[in-house]
Amino acid sequence: MKRRESRWVKAIVVAVVRPIMSAVTKREWRGQENIPREGGVIIAANHLSMSDPLTIAHYLYVAGRRWPTFTAKEGVFRIPVVGGVARSTGQIPVYRGSSDAVKALKEAEKALAEDGASVIFYPEGTCTRDPELWPMVAKTGVARIALTTGVPVIPLAHWGEQHLLPYGTARLRVFPRKRVQILAGPPVDLSKYRDRPLTATTLREATADIMRSVTGLQAELRGEEPPAQPFDPKKARQQKSAAAEGANNGDDGAPRT
């Protein structure tokens, strides 16, 4: 069977990345005992910053003793050098908005079921837009893959990367070292969905269970109570559009006489 990864490229990446992460972050890691040491496993994580793939990969490799495999935007694989490293370390390209998206799904399933990989997914699909940085409403792809392959889903929450590289900026704030907390929980119990058809309702419910676990872990890290309902970017856009339309029509919300 053809290897998905290059040993020498992996060795170089580890040699470069580990010292950098140790230099710029003060790590507080817990829950690594919940990560299986072998076999396919899904790591479902919240997404705070463009820096958190590195902090999560560092945690998974050192504490979890697993090689981190990410599903990444296809554009990453077209960046000189970066793309070659991504391919050589077994990362999976995601072609959004095209028929090739099915190919990415199949490749992730193969990595999990046949290659026994540990694959990190961001169920939200992008960095959170929640004003307080709580996990948002997620897409259902992770639940679909979990129920199709039967591999365990380990929820993982982290907190602190927003101080290292805030979303929407290119300013990396490396000094002083930033405190980064990471906590992995026990597998999400999806047993009640195993014998159900993969309908939209089933996938939404399973996804909600996964994200509740992730949010609960982040609440533990933050020592705060999460919102009763996760932020829904689609609804937020609709409300913003409706408000703008009302303003354009002269509707200020006041009663008419």
Kindly state whether residue 253 falls inside one of the protein's structural domains: no
Residue 69 β-bridge partners: 119
CA gyration radius, the chain: 20
CA distance 99 to 25: 39
Closest CA to 190 of 227, 231, 154, 141: 154
Q: Running DSSP on this structure, what letter comes out for residue 123?
A: T
In this prediction, residue 251 carries a pLDDT of: 62
Kindly state whether residue 13 falls inside one of the protein's structural domains: yes
C-beta neighbour count of 103 within 10 angstroms = 14
- Retrieve residue 242's tokens: 């409706």
* Three-state DSSP state, 246: helix
**Diameter over CA atoms, the chain:** 77
At residue 211, φ and ψ (nearest 5 deg) are -70, -30
Determine the straight-line distance between the first and last CA of the chain, rounded to whole angstroms: 77
Kindly state whether residue 255 falls inside one of the protein's structural domains: no
Q: pLDDT tens track of the chain, all 257 residues?
A: 345 789 999 999 999 999 999 999 999 999 999 999 999 999 999 999 999 999 999 999 999 999 999 988 888 888 888 899 999 999 998 876 656 667 778 899 999 999 999 999 999 989 999 999 999 999 999 999 999 999 999 999 999 999 999 999 989 999 899 999 999 999 999 999 999 999 999 999 999 999 999 999 999 999 999 999 999 999 999 998 888 888 887 765 454 44
Full 3-state SS string of 16-29:
HHHHHHHHHEEEEE
60 within 8 A of 45, measured Cβ to Cβ: no
In this prediction, residue 3 carries a pLDDT of: 58
Closest CA to 64 of 134, 120, 109, 3: 120
C-beta neighbour count of 138 within 10 angstroms = 23
In this prediction, residue 4 carries a pLDDT of: 73
Closest CA to 45 of 167, 131, 142, 113: 142
In this prediction, residue 98 carries a pLDDT of: 57
Q: Total domain count for the chain?
A: 1
Q: Which pTM does this prediction carry?
A: 0.92
CA distance 55 to 17: 10
Kindly state whether residue 257 falls inside one of the protein's structural domains: no
Q: Find the CATH number of the domain harbouring 52.
A: 3.40.1130.10
CA distance 85 to 72: 13
Which helix (H) or strand (E) segment holds residue 119: the answer is strand 118-121
Q: Are strands 25-30 and 68-73 parallel, antiparallel or unpaired?
A: unpaired
Kindly state whether residue 1 falls inside one of the protein's structural domains: no
Kindly state whether residue 210 falls inside one of the protein's structural domains: yes
Kindly state whether residue 228 falls inside one of the protein's structural domains: yes
Q: Domain range holding 85?
A: 7-248
Kindly state whether residue 254 falls inside one of the protein's structural domains: no
